[in-house]
Chains A and B, each alone.
Chain A
Amino acid sequence: MRRIKHIRSLTIIIIFYILWSFGLAKAQENLSGEEIIKKSHEIFYYAGKDIKAKVLMKLISKNGKERIRELTMLRLNKGESGEQKYYMYFHRPADVREMTFMVWKYLGKNDDRWLYVPAIKLVRRIAANDKNSSFVGSDFTYEDISGREVLEDTHTLRDEETLNGKSVYVVESVPKDEKSAYYSRKVSWIAIETFLPLKEEYYDKRGNLYKTFTADKIESVQEIATVIQRTMANVQNGHRTVVTFEEVSYNIGLKEDIFSERYLRSAPRQWIK
């Protein structure tokens, strides 16, 4: 009788222990929506200490007419601050060839932006409060390119599911200040394994689907999972932009002085060929 009682107690303890550890493990995995988006941002927008990429953008209209933007992008992270510096040199089309564009990105305030117009050798600052304006005529806005601040939206984990054979978190993001974003709601499918966004849906202010983002091709570059091709499609008017990273390298040793007026006026040949 006593033995049975012992066994029963032991069984209860074991079951309890199993449930306990399972619960613990589950709790560790149970990231909040905000934590998922934060981690995804770090992986997607801040990969490596720096990056150099040759970027080809195809701006495709509803009837298939293509326009090309080809540029070299340099990006440097400034430590843990979340600040970044971007430098872009345009190769194509011919009428913007040699134009350069520089951004010093901050958190919590507007970025600083400079543009160099080669035909008149003019460097000028441009207003940076238009985060929702189109970047070089594409379907991506400035904010889509450099990342909206995590704290500007309320993020809710809606589900975990499978997308194209990959386990994903489904997170819904709603702007805290309605006027600060062009969308009323964004749904992101974020890979559990890599934390890269595989798909995003943007809903307009009336609640209708407006744009979709898809990570079309992901490759490992220097052991960093990198979205090599992505598409932003406007589902309302049929226009879409396909962005391909033709050459990517991380941690090339960019120095901060590249991001200055000197190199706006004369592109750093070491990096831009």
Chain B
Amino acid sequence: MTRFLCVALLVFFLSIGISPLIAQEFDIHGFVQANFSLRIAATGEARTSSGESLPHYLLGDERVQLELTRSGEIAQLLGKIDLFYDAIDKRADLDVREAYIDLTLGKFDIRVGRQIITWGVGDLVFINDVFSKNWVAFLSGQPLQYLKVGSDAININFFPKFASIQIIAIPFYQSDVLPRGERLLAFDPMSNIANRKEIQPEMTLENTQIAGRLYRYIGNFDFSLYFYKGFWGSPPGMILDSAESLLTFTHPHLNVYGGSLQGAFLNGVLSAEGGYYDSRDDLQGTNTGIENSQIRFLAGYQRALGENLTVGLQYYGERIQDYSEYVQNLPQAFPKRKEWRHTLSFRLTQLLKYQTLQLSFFMFYSPNEKDYYINPEIRYDLGSGLWFAIGSILIGGEKDYTFFGQFEKNDNIYFVLRHAF
């Protein structure tokens, strides 16, 4: 929270203050939004991790987002602040979504501060994009932008002739927001251990996360190479202290090396991305508290089917590297994962009535885990920056411990009403 305030104060100070670099435009934009989500799955006897019955509402969120920008020739300041009221926890708070300064210096673009970073070519599958995410927001029906969480980072972009280079240093670790059996129920192999804590990587120079991307066009394709040195976000590591009955979540070291391409192919757009997740603290794959190394890859294809109608197909595969070691060391109480997880996805988007009405359907289905995630949505644009969306998230599977299957009690219908200004 202190960090929040620092950043917020900095932005406000700079926005109001006088700087020789920044002498021109000052802009205020933003939106007012109401966002509700009602659980529709039968919860039976299920309880939250603190033993209470599950809330009917997953979201009761009202917020104002203010976006302040101040721009000059070479520098630009941006602050994006959310003031929100959570009607379920009955609390109001402030969230600094983004707060950064942009500098444009010849062949360099530099961004310093809290920022959202996105790269990669997957459709809701992130391989090389290891930056912080809020999966609770995503699964409970908040607009997509809330899946991404800002990283406090220095982001340097260099554009020499032969390729573009992006180097990011993130000194402050920001963990993913994961369902932990509160509003959203998730599979918990150690549900009998009530004492839990999370250890964040210490803020040291050594622990600074480093990410890089080298990219360019080759022919009509966009090619990228990626590198990341940091920590496992999701799933985190776990250390069980049976004597103390204490479960500690940790963030073991992770390196990711990968690449992607995207370009026009057979009247559509072809995407492919792959990455090797190098689990540095468990090179042999024998430590069950730390995720094994993995290979992850995807291939996707998107095209228009007719006027204002597009379809997207995608395959995503994930393989546990040292599977036999994983199996040998797996404790009895833990369900055994498969060596491969195959996931197919399908997206259909139809725009009607001069694009004021958008019907969309998205589905993940894993043929070998037999689990799914389905998200139909209707969005209507009322004009003058006012729109609403009604959708549903249906999620489940044959087993209650698989990637999607574990969330089956969180099926919901959500509603968003936003007025942007």
Contact = CB atoms under 8 A, between A and B. Distances in A.
Interface centre among A127, A130, A136, A139 (most CB of B within 10 A): A127
B355 A129 contact: no
26 contacts: A59-B354, A67-B356, A93-B384, A94-B421, A95-B381, A95-B418, A104-B220, A109-B264, A112-B220, A119-B143, A120-B144, A120-B148, A121-B118, A123-B118, A124-B121, A127-B303, A129-B267, A130-B308, A137-B354, A137-B355, A261-B222, A262-B164, A266-B104, A266-B109, A269-B104, A273-B25
Interface in B61-108: 71, 73, 76, 102, 104
A122 B157 CA distance: 16
A130 B269 CA distance: 12
Interface of A: 59, 61, 65, 67, 93-95, 97, 104, 109-110, 112, 119-130, 132-134, 136-139, 182, 239, 257, 260-262, 266, 269, 273
A106 B121 CA distance: 23
A132 B351 CA distance: 13
Contacts of A65: 383
B268 A94 contact: no
A146 to B, nearest CB: 16
B308 A112 contact: no
Given A59-B354, A94-B29, A269-B73, A122 B420 contact: no
A125 B31 CA distance: 27
Nearest to B268: A127
Contacts of B71: 269
Given A125-B269, A139-B354, A262-B109, 12 more contacts: A94-B385, A95-B31, A95-B418, A119-B145, A120-B144, A121-B117, A126-B302, A127-B303, A128-B264, A129-B267, A130-B307, A269-B73
Contacts of A239: 354
Contacts of B384: 67, 93
B262 interface: yes
A93 B269 CA distance: 28
Contact of A261 (B31, B102, B164, B263): B164
B49 to A, nearest CB: 30
Interface of B: 25, 29, 31, 71, 73, 76, 102, 104, 109, 115-118, 121, 143-145, 147-148, 157, 159, 164, 215, 217, 220, 222, 262-264, 267-269, 271, 302-304, 306-310, 351, 354-356, 381, 383-385, 387, 418, 420-421
Contacts of A104: 220
A126 B104 contact: no
A138 to B, nearest CB: 7
A112 B304 contact: no
A129 B307 CA distance: 10
Contacts of B29: 94, 97
A201 B5 CA distance: 60
Q: Which 5 residue pairs across A and B have the least CB separation, nearest first?
A: A130-B304, A137-B355, A94-B420, A119-B145, A94-B385
A110 B76 CA distance: 36
A168 to B, nearest CB: 30
B420 A93 contact: yes
A94 B385 CA distance: 6
A144 to B, nearest CB: 13
B153 to A, nearest CB: 12
A127 B302 contact: yes
Given A110-B267, A126-B302, A134 B262 contact: no
Given A127-B303, A133-B308, A95 B420 contact: yes
B310 A127 contact: yes
Interface centre among B143, B310, B354, B387 (most CB of A within 10 A): B354
